[in-house]
Chains A and B, each alone.
Chain A
């Protein structure tokens, strides 16, 4: 459930857990991100989204997923990236946070990777503040880096705003 787990256990439990975690990968603005596979409920293509007036800009709107109302979050805006170009396709990953469903809008969703804790590293101290806030660490892959997203921190913005 908690994305912090690998950071803590990386060293101590490496031997007995086998040290592998499965991640659903996705790309946003050519950067690879990952979310622990157990937190993911659904992967969706383009959806009809109802805009929500007065909501924070990161909230893209809400959509109907088999009778449940899901709040869609534009991860690009949340991560401080430029808005998605109009003609660019989008995909969504639906996650469950404390019984509520959220749909994270990303550029594309990739495969599920099983990653070894040996390749895990904490966020570099120089990483952009906004990214550090929502990420628990980085996996070193062969030819690129994957940023691990912490769903609960990613969705925490509105609470801070409201408080």
Chain B
């Protein structure tokens, strides 16, 4: 039997048995809105699923019942025993149809016209056989069995398969399995007698499909898991004992015990974990049917399907996800003609993306449709009495959007069988909040909307690195660990301090460091002296921010089960949970997000939150580490830290002159020195700080007076400078600061500084034309000279729409370099627009972004980018450009 169908049968059977009970309760408490809401939702779910499975008869009955229930909910119809009986009767009809469906995989023929007519009459408020019992009212017997099967079959519906007799024996499983289709047409005569039999028999016994799986209480699994953990610990102890005894007769059985225990543990873990893809399995079909039904072209993208999720959590988000995808298709996406008119590709896209982030599972459902209609939401909110016009005027769009989560709220102007009854979003919200999750909505008019569901990782297994600091052990989720570095006096890495702040030189970059001991205010127990000469650094990435956590020791990685911390400790932001290690000890799990935001005045948590607010995303991403220094008097000066390879302190006496230029012997080579202060006299005694810029095996020293600090700031160049060597001024750390144009000084030292990488790569004479799209003036200023010196002809524009303007104006480029995060049209949309049939559709596109995780790479590639380069990575950019151009040439 079709998986989808068998799941539907199991689910519906459960729902119906709940409904039976709930309806009776409702009859007794007609004024309980919660009860009514629940009933309504259940019927809605049944109806919705029937629609997608192509079960018109079931759908019609459910739809009519839902109409009546809808009237109950609105209060326009009072709940009477007659009405409830009618609803119960339609449930019985549904049950009967389901039983046949289970046996034959097809809906039985039949007409429920009388029942539907009565339901509709009730919904419209017409008198329904007032006072009389349903038995008298209906031309059918009063027994609760699905009597409608006795009704004369309509000629049009296909008769059921010819083997329904097979169902009369006690196990009516899918014997006539593949008999649908052609065979259905054959035996119209014989089924009449059989179907009622079946129908009468079916409700009496348990659904055979439902019996194939058993439902186990999650608590039971939880207990099982605890017991297995105990077993694992005991096994570990036994193995420990075994190790100390040679040639023990227990060796072999213990080995087996070891094996079995591991498998058992794995098995029990598996019972709770499922890839989210399981919950998505239904969606492609749903979307396909949806697109047919609505006459839209929809492309469903599913990313991160193997993200594992606690089964219980998965169960709870399954329905919300289905609802939301349906909503995106129905409300979000426009019809192909509307899309073409709006300049979008004809095929609408719904993207599902699931991934782990900072101890949470994030599921994004986005579409590139019309976005949420703020005006319609406002109108509806007023109409439903949720807010007054005045209140709405004071609300932000974001607040207004939240109204769609209220019960009974739907902006679809007509009620379709797909959606529009206002059931969806409040159920979604309730279900997600039930498991402690949050849901966030982003919407841009004309561009689409995104729903971000964040679910806490209550019982997900993660791989974690175990570290020690001040005698305490901690776990760091492996997912945020980039690499490990050992810093010791005898290794190539040493920790240096800038005004007390520790930093580490790591591959021509300075890495800010955080001392775990300091951050967690750990005191070293007396007598345990830490050997300061050796420190381990866990290089950690949170969003775009990379930093190092200093620890004393690094142990192994372990698979751990994250358990939430006790409620009285939840306010400590540094921990995402705790766990029990294999040796039985409890260990705290560090939250890299918390550490990042706790380790400086930069609130990283806020930065990442701001990313969700699309407006601020572009600005937040400009945040970068800047090195502040003084040179030549006047205001402090700054240069992006990422451009600086090393900080050196040189002895003035060691300065020599070569070709009239001050140089110093540095690492066995001559390094030219360039003073920022033109009046700087390279004479005398003492030491002078120097910023070293390196490229390949060449380096250059920029002589400064004093290194002040390293700050993380959003760089907004406010005044551009006329003076060469300065990019302009910006407010950094509360002071007006000159921002250095590093490129200027680099070319002072070597005229061909930027040229070297580029010229070797391609031998052609013709200058390649590069279009640079970036909203940040800083990057345009930084990259334009860089690319020019490398031999490209650069045109820089500040937005994607400007770029498209150039396209229309007939300009041609050999390669386009575009930022991803930009206000207005972002880079991904730009790429889609370019690829979607513009004149430039064959021009290679290189993405430039501060996010360069594999996921971003994927997204970029999907949008049509040929390659993806991290911002600041000059070498990679130049290399990529020459690669892309030569590849493109080869391909063309």
Check if A and B associate: yes
Say yes or no: A53 contacts B520, CB within 8 Å.
yes
CB of A48 to closest CB in B, whole Å: 6
Q: Which residue of B lies closest to A155 (CB)?
A: B568
- The 0/1 profile, CB within 8 Å of A marked 1, for residues 541-565 of chain B is 0000000000000000000000100
Say yes or no: B229 contacts A67, CB within 8 Å.
yes
- The 0/1 profile, CB within 8 Å of B marked 1, for residues 139-163 of chain A is 0000000000000000101110110
Chain B hits for A157, CB < 8 A: 568
Say yes or no: B521 contacts A59, CB within 8 Å.
no
- Which of B225, B230, B572, B579 is most buried by chain A, counting CB atoms within 10 A of its CB? B572
Interface set, chain B 214-235, CB cutoff 8 A to A? 225-227, 229-230, 233
In the complex, whether B238 has a CB less than 8 A from a CB of chain A is no
Grouping DSSP codes into helix (H, G, I), strand (E, B) and loop, the B interface class, with mixed when no group exceeds half, is: mixed
Top 5 closest pairs, chain A to chain B, by CB: A158-B568, A53-B520, A162-B571, A67-B226, A71-B566
Chain A hits for B578, CB < 8 A: 62, 69
Chain B hits for A53, CB < 8 A: 472, 520-522, 574, 588
Interface residues of A, Cβ cutoff 8 Å to B: 48, 50-56, 59, 61-64, 66-69, 71, 98, 100, 102, 155, 157-159, 161-162
| Contacts known (A53-B522, A54-B574, A64-B580); A71 close to B563, Cβ less than 8 A | no
Say yes or no: A50 contacts B586, CB within 8 Å.
yes
Say yes or no: B230 contacts A66, CB within 8 Å.
yes
Say yes or no: A161 contacts B227, CB within 8 Å.
no
Say yes or no: B586 contacts A54, CB within 8 Å.
no
In the complex, whether B587 has a CB less than 8 A from a CB of chain A is yes
- Which of A53, A54, A64, A67 is most buried by chain B, counting CB atoms within 10 A of its CB? A53
Say yes or no: B568 contacts A67, CB within 8 Å.
no
- Which of A67, A157, A158, A161 is most buried by chain B, counting CB atoms within 10 A of its CB? A67
Give Cα A62–Cα B586 distance, bound, in whole angstroms. 7
Interface residues of B, Cβ cutoff 8 Å to A: 225-227, 229-230, 233, 472-473, 520-522, 563, 566-572, 574-575, 578-580, 584-588
Say yes or no: A59 contacts B568, CB within 8 Å.
yes
Q: Which residue of A lies closest to B572 (CB)?
A: A54
Q: Which residue of A lies closest to B226 (CB)?
A: A67
Q: Which residue of A lies closest to B588 (CB)?
A: A52
Chain A hits for B521, CB < 8 A: 53-54
Say yes or no: A161 contacts B571, CB within 8 Å.
yes
14 sample A-B contacts, Cβ–Cβ < 8 Å, listed by A number: A50-B587, A50-B588, A52-B569, A52-B575, A53-B521, A53-B574, A54-B572, A59-B569, A62-B586, A67-B226, A67-B227, A67-B233, A71-B568, A161-B571
Chain B hits for A62, CB < 8 A: 566, 578, 586, 588
CB of B525 to closest CB in A, whole Å: 10
CB of A69 to closest CB in B, whole Å: 6
Give Cα A59–Cα B570 distance, bound, in whole angstroms. 13
Give Cα A16–Cα B572 distance, bound, in whole angstroms. 48
Give the contacting residue for B567; candidates A52, A56, A159; CB below 8 A.
A159
Chain A hits for B571, CB < 8 A: 158, 161-162
Chain A hits for B522, CB < 8 A: 53
CB of B256 to closest CB in A, whole Å: 23
Q: Which residue of B lies closest to A100 (CB)?
A: B566
CB of A92 to closest CB in B, whole Å: 14
Say yes or no: B567 contacts A63, CB within 8 Å.
no
Q: Which residue of B lies closest to A156 (CB)?
A: B568
Give Cα A159–Cα B227 distance, bound, in whole angstroms. 31
Q: Which residue of A lies closest to B578 (CB)?
A: A69
Q: Which residue of A lies closest to B223 (CB)?
A: A67
Chain B hits for A61, CB < 8 A: 586
| Contacts known (A50-B472, A50-B586, A54-B520); A68 close to B226, Cβ less than 8 A | yes
Say yes or no: A55 contacts B585, CB within 8 Å.
no
Say yes or no: A63 contacts B226, CB within 8 Å.
no
Given contacts A54-B572, A69-B580, 4 further A-B contacts (CB under 8 A): A62-B578, A63-B586, A69-B566, A69-B579
Say yes or no: B569 contacts A158, CB within 8 Å.
yes
- Which of B567, B568, B570 is most buried by chain A, counting CB atoms within 10 A of its CB? B568
Q: Which residue of A lies closest to B229 (CB)?
A: A67
- Which of B229, B521, B574, B586 is most buried by chain A, counting CB atoms within 10 A of its CB? B586
Chain A hits for B585, CB < 8 A: 48, 50, 64
Give Cα A37–Cα B212 distance, bound, in whole angstroms. 45
Chain A hits for B225, CB < 8 A: 67
Chain A hits for B586, CB < 8 A: 50, 61-64, 69
Q: Which residue of A lies closest to B473 (CB)?
A: A50
Chain B hits for A67, CB < 8 A: 225-227, 229-230, 233, 580
CB of A31 to closest CB in B, whole Å: 24
Give Cα A11–Cα B566 distance, bound, in whole angstroms. 37
CB of A163 to closest CB in B, whole Å: 9
Give Cα A101–Cα B411 distance, bound, in whole angstroms. 47
Chain B hits for A100, CB < 8 A: 566-567
Say yes or no: A66 contacts B580, CB within 8 Å.
no
Say yes or no: A66 contacts B472, CB within 8 Å.
no
CB of B558 to closest CB in A, whole Å: 15
Give Cα A102–Cα B233 distance, bound, in whole angstroms. 22
Chain A hits for B584, CB < 8 A: 64
